[in-house]
């Protein structure tokens, strides 16, 4: 097919005939039925919280929002089959202090100052719909938005478990603080969401009570597991609480970086898994259905579906795209 033909199709100037649709389906590895479906609901990028919209190329943004559109389709399918918890979040957009907002939401959910044992579970039980971003891009860590009074979070699950927990709490911050747009996308909004996440995951009194008088890097690595955060996030929290001076914080960061805590999380915690997807998949299993059946009914390829729930459904190795399709076909 010529580039001009493709571009005309993309712009809606030409209607493809059956032969063209077949070619597109083959080239893109999408079912033919996908091309005759209604246009998928597009995400309003203005309402989506992207962490670094400015650094993102148009192509990356389009890929992320397209993943979001498919996520909405999948979400609608799940809601048609299962009753999911209603949204139970506070609208804290009036609150100017993100630390106060984090405490208010903790109070609303009756969490006191206890560490969060399972952040993904907490989000789900309070009605947040969580999906994965199947592409690992350096510029899109996560994003979130409201749609029909329902909160959505899309997460890059290629990061460490600690990072994913922090990212999802950061997005929770956007959902409650910047629900009506607010100052986003801006540096200020990012700072607020980070501060919200930091306070929500590591409550002031609990941290103060647990830290030794002299805080060494070893101590940071030892205690961080209580709050299920990265060593870097822990060090930053200790700094904002005044428990580490600027100089101590900087030296801690250098030492943590030297020990591999900048690029990863040595001996980190296990990834959290979704209770919603556990239920959905076991129910399907009981009905002798598979993920392929969901993909078929949505007219999307299985690997797109796998991508949307990857990292949420337990310790499965993500197979290569072609392999995934082959394996599932063999099982059927
Ligand atoms: Zn953000």
Q: What's residue 158's pLDDT?
A: 84
Q: The CATH number of the domain where 115 resides is what? A: 1.10.10.2910
Query: Could you tell me if 13 and 105 lie in one domain?
Result: no
Residue 182 clears pLDDT 60, i.e. is over it: no
What is the β-pairing status of strands 142-147 and 150-155?
antiparallel
Query: Could you tell me if 110 and 238 lie in one domain?
Result: no
The CA-to-CA distance between both ends of the chain, in Å, stands at 34
- Tell me, in angstroms, the distance from the centre of ligand 1 to residue 87's CA: 20
Residue whose pair of structure tokens reads 């310790």 in the numeric block = 315
Query: Could you tell me if 50 and 19 lie in one domain?
Result: no
Query: Could you tell me if 197 and 49 lie in one domain?
Result: yes
Residue 23 clears pLDDT 70, i.e. is over it: yes
Query: Could you tell me if 197 and 209 lie in one domain?
Result: no
Q: What's residue 207's pLDDT?
A: 97
- Pairwise CA distance, residues 121 & 78, whole Å: 17
- Tell me, in angstroms, the distance from the centre of ligand 1 to residue 294's CA: 31
- DSSP tag of 153: E
- Tell me, in angstroms, the distance from the centre of ligand 1 to residue 98's CA: 13
- Mean of pLDDT over the chain: 87
Q: State the total domains in the chain.
A: 4
- Tell me, in angstroms, the distance from the centre of ligand 1 to residue 168's CA: 10
In tens, the pLDDT along 257-285 reads 999 999 999 999 999 989 888 888 888 88
Closest CA to 277 of 134, 97, 75, 140: 75
Alpha helices (H) along 89-150: 98-108, 119-125
115, 227 Cβ separation under 8 angstroms: yes
- Tell me, in angstroms, the distance from the centre of ligand 1 to residue 208's CA: 27
Query: Could you tell me if 122 and 174 lie in one domain?
Result: yes
- Tell me, in angstroms, the distance from the centre of ligand 1 to residue 314's CA: 26
274, 312 Cβ separation under 8 angstroms: yes
- Tell me, in angstroms, the distance from the centre of ligand 1 to residue 156's CA: 13
Query: Could you tell me if 197 and 124 lie in one domain?
Result: yes
Query: Could you tell me if 190 and 214 lie in one domain?
Result: no
- Tell me, in angstroms, the distance from the centre of ligand 1 to residue 107's CA: 23
Q: What's residue 52's pLDDT?
A: 55
3-state secondary structure (DSSP) of residue 151: strand
Domain that holds residue 218: 204-269
Residue 205 tokens read as 């009194």
- Tell me, in angstroms, the distance from the centre of ligand 1 to residue 142's CA: 8
Query: E-assigned strands of the chain?
Result: 129-132, 142-147, 150-155
CA-based max dimension of the chain: 73
Final residue of a structural domain among 185, 201, 217: 201
Query: Could you tell me if 60 and 196 lie in one domain?
Result: yes
In tens, the pLDDT along 208-258 reads 999 998 999 999 999 999 999 999 999 999 999 999 999 999 999 999 999
- Tell me, in angstroms, the distance from the centre of ligand 1 to residue 21's CA: 38
pTM confidence score: 0.89
- Tell me, in angstroms, the distance from the centre of ligand 1 to residue 281's CA: 30
Query: Could you tell me if 151 and 255 lie in one domain?
Result: no
Query: Could you tell me if 294 and 305 lie in one domain?
Result: yes
- Tell me, in angstroms, the distance from the centre of ligand 1 to residue 321's CA: 30
Quick one: how far is CA 213 from the chain centroid? 36
Final residue of a structural domain among 254, 269, 284: 269
Confidence of residue 136 (pLDDT cuts 50, 70, 90): low
- Tell me, in angstroms, the distance from the centre of ligand 1 to residue 287's CA: 39
Query: Could you tell me if 174 and 155 lie in one domain?
Result: yes
């Amino acid at each position: 097919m010529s580039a001009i033909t493709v571009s005309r199709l993309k712009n809606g100037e030409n209607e493809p005939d059956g032969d063209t649709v077949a070619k597109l389906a083959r080239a893109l590895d999408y079912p033919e039925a996908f091309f005759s479906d209604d246009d998928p609901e597009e995400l309003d990028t203005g309402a989506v919280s992207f962490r670094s919209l400015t650094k993102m190329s148009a192509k990356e943004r389009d890929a992320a929002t397209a993943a979001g559109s498919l996520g909405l389709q999948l979400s609608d399918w799940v809601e048609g089959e299962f009753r999911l918890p209603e949204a139970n979040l506070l609208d804290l957009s009036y609150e100017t202090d993100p630390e106060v907002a984090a405490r208010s939401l903790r109070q609303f959910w009756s969490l006191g100052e206890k560490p969060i044992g399972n952040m993904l579970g907490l989000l789900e039980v309070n009605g947040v719909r969580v999906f994965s971003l199947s592409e690992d891009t350096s510029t899109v860590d996560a994003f979130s938005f409201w749609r029909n009074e329902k909160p959505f979070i899309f997460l890059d699950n290629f990061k460490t478990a600690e990072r994913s927990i922090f990212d999802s709490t950061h997005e929770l911050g956007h959902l409650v603080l910047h629900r009506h747009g607010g100052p986003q996308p801006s540096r200020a909004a990012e700072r607020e969401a980070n501060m919200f996440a930091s306070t929500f995951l590591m409550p002031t009194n609990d941290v103060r009570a647990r830290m030794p008088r002299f805080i060494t890097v070893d101590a940071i690595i030892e205690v961080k597991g209580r709050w299920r955060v990265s060593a870097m996030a822990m060090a930053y929290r200790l700094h904002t609480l005044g428990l580490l001076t600027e100089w101590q914080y900087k030296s801690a960061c250098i030492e943590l970086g030297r020990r591999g805590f900048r690029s990863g999380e040595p001996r980190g915690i296990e990834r959290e898994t979704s209770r919603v997807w556990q239920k959905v998949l076991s129910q399907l299993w009981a009905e002798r259905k598979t993920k392929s059946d969901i993909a078929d009914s949505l007219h999307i390829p299985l690997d797109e579906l796998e991508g949307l729930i990857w990292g949420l459904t337990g310790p499965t190795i993500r197979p290569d795209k072609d392999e995934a399709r082959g394996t599932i076909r063999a099982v059927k």
